[in-house]
Structure 1
């Protein structure tokens, strides 16, 4: 049985200010090491049990590590397979920060994805914004990456470009892969994290990740969330299970999760 703590971070205003200025904020120790370890175990068991076999490696991520083609494991909507993830979505430690960075008491789920980067050749992600995948009117859309194990640079941790969110939408690769092949990589800073840390960033923030060349898997859970009062501009990415679920506060629009 997983034991959880429910104390929200005390410095929410400071976290939100950092997010506004930099386009991201890394919240240390939002989960305990013990919780993170249990979520790591559950994540690996879920992926093994479901055995989907699909690899979400982007075509643009053609890097090869250790002489092998890179690979990646993932799972959409883990909260529909294990109630522990459902509880985490509404955990006040998470939702308090999510509400703070959105500058609204209302937080709505967009979608979730679990990622496991295998050891030695775990796939990278090229520089990109999340914006073109699901553009919204007021741009009050964000992501949180839960780290269920340590993520040093050698494991292919997330890299962000501080301040890149202030430049707004960018012109992405016209072939539909949505990456930014000409973005200067020297602007990307490794966000090395420990188990239990959560990285929050805006959907305008340019980010990427490297190859996992370590001897251990890197396990993360991505939660995309938004202000329910911010209407989407397209129906892209509107197929995720549970989209529209209110995680904190309420939906003042009465759309009941409709895109």
Structure 2
């Protein structure tokens, strides 16, 4: 497991590790106090904006403790709470995103908040993010902010190191694109603490397990890209805030925006 800080001297090594492994887990990007505050804000938002929908994939048929699994989510938290807007442009985050893409420019694609409830929080089967929003230059990556501890018992993210090197894979379109035959023994648990952030490419195969613990698991997913990269399809075009520059500039002058 690669764990590096965001100190300037580490950024080149961090980018090299991202290129080689397809991911990097940055420890303590947020303080414990900051993570706790974001956790509280996340749960308040989910509670106040609960629309009753459950984003659990139909291909995730796991049942925990005799119950059907469930999941809570919220798209675009930055449009409901300015704290999340500030986090999007926090240099601690954008410096890593810029480093792993090897560009000073970082552009928002979309965000999603996920809360896995205690005892039966839904899993995600192995998949790549690529099929959902393919891009011309494949710069797209994800950052998962952990607002509370995420041991394997809580259904932490699991990644397949080096899996990004094979490029796009054929996904099963049934049950929300996934990889039903991917060897699960290649997936390594990315156990994390509150404040840690996991970065990975959109070619990196990843999954997560059922939250079997007695506490919720709270994360915020931020998908980012190089603004010079262009989407190949109209998928996710409706995401609020897509195209927002988080660091640097847009060298295209917003030409040919999807």
TM range, smaller chain = over 0.9
CA–CA distance in 2 between the matches of 1:174 and 1:12? Answer: 37
Name the residue aligned to 2:32: 33
How far is 1:8 from its partner? Answer: 5.0
CA–CA distance in 2 between the matches of 1:205 and 1:51? Answer: 31
Q: Deviation per CA, 1:125-175, whole angstroms, max 9, x where unpaired?
A: 000000000000110010000000000000000000000000000000033
* 3-state DSSP of counterpart to 1:110: strand
How far is 1:71 from its partner? Answer: 0.1
The total of aligned residue pairs comes to 253
CA–CA distance in 1 between the matches of 2:135 and 2:199? Answer: 18
Name the residue aligned to 1:62: 61
* 3-state DSSP of counterpart to 1:127: strand
Q: Choose 73-82 or 246-255, whichever is displaced more.
A: 246-255
TM-score of the superposition, structure 1-length normalised?
0.96
CA RMSD, 1 decimal: 1.2
Name the residue aligned to 2:232: 233
How far is 1:98 from its partner? Answer: 0.3
Gaps of 5+ in 2: none
Question: Would the alpha carbon gap of residues 66 and 237 (structure 1) be closer, same or farther in structure 2, given more than 3 Å must change?
Answer: same
* 3-state DSSP of counterpart to 2:223: strand
Q: Deviation per CA, 1:55-100, whole angstroms, max 9, x where unpaired?
A: 0000000000000000000000000000000000000000000000
4+ residue runs over 6 A deviation:
none
CA–CA distance in 1 between the matches of 2:93 and 2:182? Answer: 31
What pairs with 1:40-79 in structure 2 (closer than 5 Å)? 40-79=39-78
Is residue 122 from structure 1 mapped to residue 121 from structure 2 by the alignment? yes
Name the residue aligned to 1:90: 89
How far is 1:177 from its partner? Answer: 1.8
Would the aligned equivalents of 1:121 and 1:211 in 2 still touch at CA under 8 Å? yes
* 3-state DSSP of counterpart to 2:143: strand
How far is 1:51 from its partner? Answer: 1.6
Name the residue aligned to 1:146: 145
Question: Would the alpha carbon gap of residues 176 and 116 (structure 1) be closer, same or farther in structure 2, given more than 3 Å must change?
Answer: closer
Q: Deviation per CA, 1:164-216, whole angstroms, max 9, x where unpaired?
A: 00000000003362100000000000000000000000000000000000000
TM-score of the superposition, structure 2-length normalised?
0.96
* 3-state DSSP of counterpart to 1:35: helix
Gaps of 5+ in 1: 1-6
* 3-state DSSP of counterpart to 1:195: coil
Would the aligned equivalents of 1:8 and 1:92 in 2 still touch at CA under 8 Å? no
